[in-house]
A and B are shown apart, each in its own frame.
Chain A
Amino acid sequence: MTRLFTDEQLSAYLDGAGDPEVCAAIDQALATDITLQRRLERFRRADQLLREAVDNRLGHMPARLEQMATGQIAVAGFGARKRLPVRRLAQFAAMAAALLIAFGVGMKLGTGPAPSAPVLSLGPDGLVAGPVLAHAISTAYSGEPVKTEAGAVSVALSFRSSAGNLCRRFRLDQGAQSQTVVACRQDGSWRIEGWTSSPPEPSDNGFTTASGPSNAAIDAVIRKLGLAQALNRGEEASAIKSGWQSKAH
């Protein structure tokens, strides 16, 4: 007489976790029991389709996950201070990934070496400029483009925000890619407040004029920060010398 097995017993058998005595009986019954063979086959087919269905539901792996895990988006000091809400973190990381890809760094994922230093880092309060970019933002004078490993940096404006932070608007050119970025000095880092992609604008000195849709977006970022005071050349030079201390004089 054919022994009846429960679904749970067959399921455990498939997972290699069944009771040894039951598993031996299943093995024996499979030699002759076509109904049992079909039941197991249905389960195996269900397993295979489940694997496909789950991965199908998830879709492609977001590039930012691999970039964070491999260090192409740096995670600096996170958790030491206040914690970013998950959504906000995702937003910043997506922005970092977009910027890295825009700068031609993200495209190297899996096929080339990681950059020696990330253009951007993910800090406790959002994205901050990486060391190379930060040095350029800290030392460049408005209207005098500087070339760096991260691309050519052309500062267009230095200003104090209504919160009292010193901020700079600059363009970062790398080959055919160009980003206009606003960053503010905060806790010794240059925090990225906003950015927009735009084609490089032909210019004799790399200075970006305030016109066009991308500049409108950046102007909106500056309006939100509040342009309390635009720095003149002398004030800018003082700020560069003092390392961009944000306290109002």
Chain B
Amino acid sequence: MTMRSKQFRSELVAMLPRLRRFALALSRNRQDADDLVQTAVVRALTQEDAAQNAERLDSWMYRIVKNLWIDERRRQAVRGTPEPIDNLNDAAGDDGRRHTEARSDLAQAQRIFDRMSAELQTAAVLVIVNGLSYREAADLLEVPIGTVMSRVSRARRALAEGLSQTPSGMASNQ
């Protein structure tokens, strides 16, 4: 393996967590997210020259993941809509355990994230979690920069408002 190839693989490994988050936001399902990333990795390794020659490997990989997801969605449209999201298993119930979980800020943030539209999730993950600029996110998602700005803001507001309803959130706002 050449030094360049080693460097490429090392960058690829470092990128995996960011790609998984993006894939989760697109697919809304952990299993599908990992499948998407895996296929993207295969694509990168079998097109290593193209990947290495890309101006930015992360942009190239994000785009591969997105295109794979578009292909997958087309196939799903033919096959019929799949079971929606593993996260719906976490819909709040009224038993004691759920009540206890509901007091956790993290559990609440997770529920709010799960209930966001895919558009808000992808914008929030790309900008807030993965640290892309609005311009980078807009280019990747092929939407105007103002749309990204608006989606990120709406995602933040949904989270902030939802979290302020938890006991610790209310305490921090007093």
A residues in contact (CB < 8 Å) with B: 7-8, 10-12, 14-15, 17, 38, 41-43, 45-47, 49-59, 61-62, 64-66, 68-71, 75, 77-80, 86-87, 89-90, 93, 122
Contacts and interface: CB of A to CB of B under 8 A. Distances in A.
Contacts of A79: 42-43, 46-47
Interface string B103-122: 00110111001100000000
11 contacts: A15-B128, A43-B160, A50-B155, A53-B113, A61-B17, A61-B20, A69-B16, A71-B9, A75-B45, A86-B35, A90-B31
Nearest to B44: A69
B26 to A, nearest CB: 13
A41 B133 CA distance: 21
A178 to B, nearest CB: 28
B146 to A, nearest CB: 9
A75 B128 CA distance: 33
Contacts of B129: 50-51, 54
Nearest to B31: A90
Contact of B134 (A15, A41, A64): A15
Contacts of A57: 24, 30, 87, 110, 113-114
A58 to B, nearest CB: 5
Contacts of A54: 21, 24-25, 113, 125, 129
B2 interface: no
A8 B87 CA distance: 28
Given A89-B42, A90-B35, A47 B13 contact: no
B150 A86 contact: no
B124 interface: yes
Interface in B1-56: 1, 9, 12-13, 16-17, 20-21, 24-25, 30-31, 33-39, 41-43, 45-47
A17 B134 contact: yes
A contacts with B: majority SS = helix
A194 B9 CA distance: 30
Contacts of B128: 15, 47, 50-51
B127 interface: yes
Contacts of B21: 54-55, 58
Interface of B: 1, 9, 12-13, 16-17, 20-21, 24-25, 30-31, 33-39, 41-43, 45-47, 72, 87, 105-106, 108-110, 113-114, 124-125, 127-129, 133-134, 149-150, 152-153, 155-157, 159-160, 163-164, 169, 172-173
B156 A58 contact: no
Given A65-B34, A75-B45, A42 B127 contact: no
Contacts of A11: 149, 152-153, 156-157
Contacts of B127: 15
Given A42-B163, A58-B21, A65-B37, A53 B109 contact: yes
A42 B164 contact: yes
A56 B9 contact: no
A215 B21 CA distance: 41
What 7 pairs across the A-B complex have the smallest Cβ distances? A46-B159, A49-B109, A11-B153, A53-B109, A8-B153, A53-B110, A42-B160
Contact of B16 (A14, A61, A87): A61
A50 B173 contact: no
B142 to A, nearest CB: 18
B152 A90 contact: no
Contacts of B34: 62, 65, 90
A45 B87 CA distance: 22
A3 to B, nearest CB: 18
A9 to B, nearest CB: 9
A21 B96 CA distance: 50
A78 to B, nearest CB: 5
B30 A59 contact: yes
A52 B106 contact: yes
A68 B42 contact: yes
Contact of B42 (A46, A59, A75): A75
